[in-house]
Amino acid sequence: MPACPLSLLQQREIEARLAAPLIAEFAALVGWEAALNTAARAVQRLARAAGRQAAEAAGSDSLAALAGMVEKLWAQGGALEIEILRRDATHLFFNVTGCRYAELYDRLGVRECGFALSCSRDAAFAAGFNPRIRLQRRQTIMSGAPFCDFRFSLDG
């Protein structure tokens, strides 16, 4: 029987069901902010490695290849509703207007962990994918904004 790969959203649910209680227990020892920051650093380290692996698998570390990852992997199964604003060789600007990741953390009752477990991955993934790619993002749905403003740029 062929393997049935999980979507990224399904992976995040499995991770959240384990990580959120661990973060809560750790927070009882060191405080909520320290526990979330520690979790985010661990997640970012994993995301950097995943970015490197993704670029290798794609055979390219271009912004176009990253755009393909966003559309095929991050948004798989309608997990993100994306509005592309600019897409060229040095820029990938888009807004996320719908985020099922945020809905997932709400449904699990762990929205306070959502940024550390999901959103904090994005810049680290991009840096692992290509160290010249930078993400500027001022707001996220996870943090209560009406949309996420992703602005990826490729440094000269």
Name all domains of the chain by residue range, CATH numbers in brackets.
Answer: 8-154 (3.30.1380.20)
- pLDDT at res. 2: 55
Distances from the Cα of 110 to the Cα of 7, 150, 151, angstroms? 20, 23, 27
- pLDDT at res. 5: 86
Q: In this predicted model, what pLDDT tens digit does every residue of 52-61 receive, in sequence order? A: 999 999 999 9
Q: Considering only CA atoms, which of 127, 106, 79 is closest in space to residue 16?
A: 106
Residue numbers of the chain with a pLDDT score lower than 70: 1-4, 156
- pLDDT at res. 156: 66
**Tokens read off for 14:** 């499995």
